[in-house]
Structure formats: C-alpha cells, structure tokens
Amino acid sequence: MKELSVFIDESGDFGPYYHHSPYYIVTLVFHDRSIDISNDINRLNENIRMSGFDVNPIHTGPLIRREDDYKNYTLLERKQIFNKLYNFTRNIDISYICLVVEKKQLKNEIDLQLQLTKQFSLFYRENMEYFMQYDNIIVYYDYGQRELNLCIVTLFSALMNNVEFKKGTQTDYKLFQVADLLCTMELLLIKAERKTLSNSELMFFKSAKELNKSFLRAIQKKRFHLVE
C-alpha cells in the first residue's frame, strides 16, 4: 500500500485584520511514507542532545524572536538550533506548499475560508495524478484552530475518498516542526520583499539580502513542483 503523509501548520488566526498580523499562512508538508527518514530524525535528535540544547519541539518563530523557551539562549545558540532544524528540512525528501491570504483584503472569516479553499482546490486539480498514485492519504493536524480544522476536513474529504485524519503535536512528529519552520520562512519571504522585517529578524539573519541568499533560496527548492 502506497501512503502519503500530509502535515499541516498555520501562522496567524481567523480573527480580524491587525497591523502586526496581516497574513494567514497554511503550510502543507508532503511525505511519501515509503521514504524512510527515521535515521535523519535520529541524527537530528542526537545532534541537539550532544549540543546540550534542551529544546523539543523547536518553534521557529519564538526562536528567532528570542521569546518563550528561548529567552535565555544567546544569539549564537539560537542560530545553532535554527540551523539544525533548517538543515534537517533541506536534507530530507519532502515537498511543501504554502497557502497565503492577506487578511486586509477580507471582509470576514468566511472570506478567509473561501480563499484557502480556492487555493488548495486549484493546487489539487493541477496535481490530481500525483495524489491518485497513493492508496491512502493521512492528514495530520494538531486541531489548534477549529475553523482551520473544519476547513481541512471538508476540503480533503470532498476532493479525496482515501483520506484519514490524525491529531498530532510538534513533540510527536518532527515533520510538524518542519511545517512550522516553513510557515515562518514563507512569512519572512513576504516581509523581506515588502521591507517589513522586524529588528529581531534582521538581527538574526543580518539583512534581508543575507536571509534570501543563505536560507530562502535553498528552502524554496522544496516547494511542490506542479505536474506538467
């Protein structure tokens, strides 16, 4: 049986537009379960353990901004942690897409759900053959946002007849941490293009140019390639 795992994470919420949170981003990470990444996961865990970092899971946004569990880590230490998860993501065989909605243009949360539905439906139609090769598709989400959870279940159930849903956390699955990192990178890409990177983000990556050169270009190679 050929199976596909889909790990979903989001940045933002279904609430009204605020200047400090103008985008809603949903990242879907696709992993063919026949491709074993257990050794990569074990190496990442051992690498973090040997470095003496007590961080599991790794939350990319707070790590960059020096918030929550990362308040007592230096800039150098936080960069080391980031690089471990970033390099893990680059090296494993996965692909991803990001659904991005600018909330300023929406009237209400129904419009947000409509935009997400349109974007994913178009993506699915253009790549139907890719999904049809799998006997089973397992969608993982942490059920963190009721509106997104409903949207996920409705979308996948309407488009696919071989899908099942499982709840998980970033502690349970490394690919949730990967989805979280990719959500953050997509947001950084938008902010870099619009010259709205925060002081903490500029301090972490040195400059928008360095962010793009050293991180964004490489990670974008993991984006799902549309079927010709």
Domains for the chain: give ranges and CATH numbers: 3-185 (3.30.420)
- Three-state SS for 137? strand
- Strands 3-11 and 136-141, by their bridges, are parallel
Give the number of other Cβ atoms within 10 Å of residue 6's Cβ: 21
What integer best gives the mean pLDDT of the chain?
93
pLDDT tens readout for residues 181-206: 999 999 999 999 999 999 999 999 99
- Provide the pLDDT for residue 59: 96
Is the bond into 16 cis (omega within 30 degrees of 0)?
Answer: no
CA dist 89 and 212 (Å) reads 16
Give me 9's structure tokens. Answer: 């994470």
Tell me the β-bridge partners of 6: 30, 139
Q: Give bridge partners of residue 100 from the DSSP assignment.
A: 25
pTM for the model stands at 0.94
Alpha-carbon torsion angle 26, 14, 155, 177, nearest 10: 30
105-153: per-residue pLDDT in tens?
888 778 999 999 999 999 999 999 999 999 999 999 998 899 999 999 9
Residue 90 has pLDDT above 80, yes or no: yes
Question: How many residues are given for the chain?
Answer: 228
pLDDT for 225 beyond 90: no
Predicted local distance difference test score (pLDDT) of residue 162: 95
pLDDT of residue 122: 93
Could you tell me which residues are beta bridge partners of residue 167?
A: 141
Q: What mean pLDDT do residues 39-45 have?
A: 96
Residue with tokens 């699955």: 173
As a whole number of Å, the end-to-end CA separation of the chain is 25
Read off the pLDDT of residues 163-178 as tens digits, 9 standing for 90 and up: 999 999 999 999 999 9
- On the question of pLDDT at 70 being above 90, the answer is yes
Question: What would the mean pLDDT of 54-78 be, rounded to a whole number?
Answer: 94
Q: Tell me the average pLDDT across 77-103.
A: 96
Say if residues 88 and 29 touch (Cβ distance below 8 Å). Answer: no
> What integer pLDDT is reported at residue 75 of this predicted model?
97
E strand or H helix at 219:
helix 217-219
In the chain, % of residues over pLDDT 70: 98
The rounded distance, in Å, linking the Cα atoms of 70 and 93 is 29
3-class secondary-structure state, position 159 = helix
pLDDT of 227 above 60? no
Band (pLDDT 50/70/90 cuts) for residue 19 is confident
